[in-house]
């Protein structure tokens, strides 16, 4: 029961914090430069659409799909989603991909919109950019709520609570800060969530095809530990390639290091 609760709420909450921080940066950029009415209305529209998707698809999956088939389908989707996040987290941790920077996102949004307040009665550009960003980030949350929440029992409302709690917390902090939330360790959180997603994904796919994990649901715990270690080892292995290349370059062009 406790494990079921944690499975539903922890990854959804942490992933939702990451996505809400990204979306909030864009909303703040629009709000501070062009006024709050249009971006906040965009947030309301996006949240309504996301809520409708969660209710429509979630209820269908929970009520109508065979449990084993559901485990294979949701496990496959979680694995695909998780390996994508894990790859990005590893590449960021070893410096191959730039770290997610809320100030950069904030500046980019300002550049895209122009810094001046609009003269129009309603700021359609601000509305559309806030709606689009919130919807795209929200789709990832929707996906996690549906796949993790529909794993049975009371998980679905628990997963929804996790997502809503993250939205409220980030929204409240962001509203009072009125600035990009760059103190949130987004990249570390993303790495942590990726480990959880591939853990649930591989656990459920295997269970769906008939595997009985040793220890039952405790399999989630040792799989999580295993995937965490693997992520660190892959990062170390891949960064060794980078170090070797840097050493070779410095040996060939010593003036670079001067």
Partner 1 sequence: MNRLVGWVRTALREIWALVVDDWILAVSSLAAIGATFAVSRIDAVGSGNATGWLLVALVVTAVAASVRRAVAARLRPGR
Given the rule CB under 8 A, which residues bind partner 1? 72, 75-76, 79-81, 83-84, 86-88, 90-91, 94, 96-97, 128, 132, 135-136, 139-140, 198, 202-203, 205-207, 209-214, 219, 223, 226-227, 230, 234-235, 237-239, 241-242, 245
- The residue (of 158 and 203) whose beta carbon lies closer to partner 1 is 203
> Rounded to 5 degrees, what angle do the CA atoms 17, 50, 87 make?
45
Report CA-CA distances (Å) from 141 to 17, 224, 248.
10, 21, 43
- The residue (of 9 and 135) whose beta carbon lies closer to partner 1 is 135
Report, in Å, the least distance between residue 234 CB and partner 1: 5
Report, in Å, the least distance between residue 212 CB and partner 1: 5
- The residue (of 138 and 158) whose beta carbon lies closer to partner 1 is 138
Report, in Å, the least distance between residue 232 CB and partner 1: 12
Report, in Å, the least distance between residue 101 CB and partner 1: 18
What is the rounded CA–CA span in Å between residue 101 and residue 108?
A: 11
Report, in Å, the least distance between residue 100 CB and partner 1: 14
- The residue (of 8 and 231) whose beta carbon lies closer to partner 1 is 231
Report, in Å, the least distance between residue 241 CB and partner 1: 5
> Rounded to 5 degrees, what angle do the CA atoms 192, 243, 185 make?
25
Distance of CA 198 to the CA centre of its chain: 13
- The residue (of 179 and 206) whose beta carbon lies closer to partner 1 is 206
Q: Is 94 helix (H, G, I), strand (E, B) or coil?
A: coil
Residues 192 and 58: beta-carbon distance below 8 Å: no
Report, in Å, the least distance between residue 115 CB and partner 1: 22
Which residue, chain included where needed, has tokens 């992933």?
15
**C-alpha count within 13 angstroms, C-beta hemisphere, residue 46:** 27
Report CA-CA distances (Å) from 9 to 124, 129, 147.
35, 29, 12
- The residue (of 177 and 242) whose beta carbon lies closer to partner 1 is 242
Residues 34 and 118: beta-carbon distance below 8 Å: yes
What is the rounded CA–CA span in Å between residue 24 and residue 96?
A: 26
- The residue (of 27 and 220) whose beta carbon lies closer to partner 1 is 220
Distance spanning both ends of the chain, measured CA to CA: 61
Instruction: Return the structure tokens found at 214.
Output: 């040793």
């Amino acid at each position: 029961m406790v494990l079921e609760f944690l499975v539903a709420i922890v990854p959804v909450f942490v992933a939702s914090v990451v996505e809400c921080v990204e979306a909030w940066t864009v909303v703040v950029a629009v709000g501070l430069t062009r006024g709050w009415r249009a971006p906040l209305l965009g947030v309301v529209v996006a949240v309504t659409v996301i809520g409708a998707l969660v209710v429509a698809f979630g209820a269908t999956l929970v009520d109508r799909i065979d449990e084993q088939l559901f485990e294979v389908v949701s496990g496959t989707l979680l694995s695909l989603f998780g390996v994508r996040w894990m790859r990005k987290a590893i590449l960021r941790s070893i410096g191959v991909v730039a770290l997610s920077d809320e100030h950069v996102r904030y500046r980019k949004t300002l550049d895209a919109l122009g810094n001046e307040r609009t003269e129009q009665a309603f700021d359609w550009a601000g509305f559309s950019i806030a709606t689009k960003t919130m919807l795209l980030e929200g789709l990832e949350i929707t996906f996690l709520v549906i796949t993790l929440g529909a794993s049975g029992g009371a998980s679905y409302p628990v997963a929804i609570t996790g997502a809503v709690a993250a939205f409220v917390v980030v929204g409240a902090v962001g509203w009072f800060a009125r600035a990009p939330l760059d103190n949130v360790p987004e990249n570390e959180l993303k790495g942590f969530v990726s480990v959880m997603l591939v853990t649930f994904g591989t656990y459920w796919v295997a269970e769906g095809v008939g595997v009985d994990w040793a220890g039952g649901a405790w399999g989630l715990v040792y799989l999580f530990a295993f995937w965490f270690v693997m992520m660190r080892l892959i990062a170390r292995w891949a960064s060794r390639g980078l170090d070797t290349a840097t050493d070779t370059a410095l040996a060939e062009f010593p003036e670079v290091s001067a």
